[in-house]
Copies of this chain bind each other. A is one copy, B any other.
């Protein structure tokens, strides 16, 4: 069952509260890419969002909630990068402290930015369990509001502003949307928002092939590993949040596309060289779904370029 904490009303509230601080990110297109893909692709540029990823949307909504509803002194989270950057920025924007638990294999560019936004950073082992346990312990000690990266209603409601913007900007042009899926925070937010408002738009979930999301959505069989070995560092978590799963099951069942690591690399190359946008591999994951596995009826698709935080020496 979908949590009653997640609703179009809360999504609209979040959009209203955050839109004057966030960017309304642009849409880019490329005739070159359209030819290669065989469909019109509209790229929603969340790598140009504050902090370089869509995470700023949910993080800002969550930090506002922590302050207004829970009167917290600070926020805390575990993050391999974008969530941490976004929360550190959001906390600074609205005057809260911020502590972040970071796995020690996180990309250097991402943890550097957390420091820049003034957060305290604590390193931990790179497993989902170590991240969550370290974070919960520290949250208790500090009395900070714990903002889960994806399994969190305020994050999910906050990300929906991305859905509203897409409908406003290109809602009359698209037949489908392609989303990268990690823990499912953004995917469930867009699926709930657009799935309810525009059920005619197909919402495709794109995953690294190891994740086996189809099994999870069809049979509740969870991928046996803790962390995926993928170049797309933003979706290394193997699980899907318990708040996200019923939403994805309702709106995106049988709409999972699995892509190989090589396809992700090729997708990065296409976006870098044709669109000239320096996105991170996790953003290219969504594009790999349509570039290499386009369902035949997809003619006009939105692809969310979810982030652009990638180390300077990374070559796809």
Contacts and interface: CB of A to CB of B under 8 A. Distances in A.
Place the interface of chain A in its size category: 10 to 19
A312 B316 contact: yes
Contacts of A276: 47-48, 52, 277-279, 308
A272 interface: yes
A269 interface: yes
A307 to B, nearest CB: 9
Residue from the set A52, A276, A312, A316 with the largest chain B CB neighbour count within 10 Å: A276
A275 B277 CA distance: 9
A273 interface: yes
Given A47-B276, A52-B276, A278-B277, A269 B315 contact: no
A109 B274 CA distance: 11
Residue from the set A273, A279, A313 with the largest chain B CB neighbour count within 10 Å: A273
B109 A273 contact: yes
A273 B312 contact: yes
Nearest to A309: B273
Contacts of A143: none
Given A277-B277, A278-B277, A278-B278, A312 B26 contact: no
A26 B71 CA distance: 42
A231 to B, nearest CB: 15
Residue from the set A52, A279, A308, A316 with the largest chain B CB neighbour count within 10 Å: A308
A269 B48 contact: no
Interface of A: 26, 28, 47-48, 52, 109, 269, 272-273, 276-279, 308, 312-313, 315-316
7 contacts: A47-B276, A52-B276, A276-B278, A276-B279, A277-B277, A312-B315, A313-B315
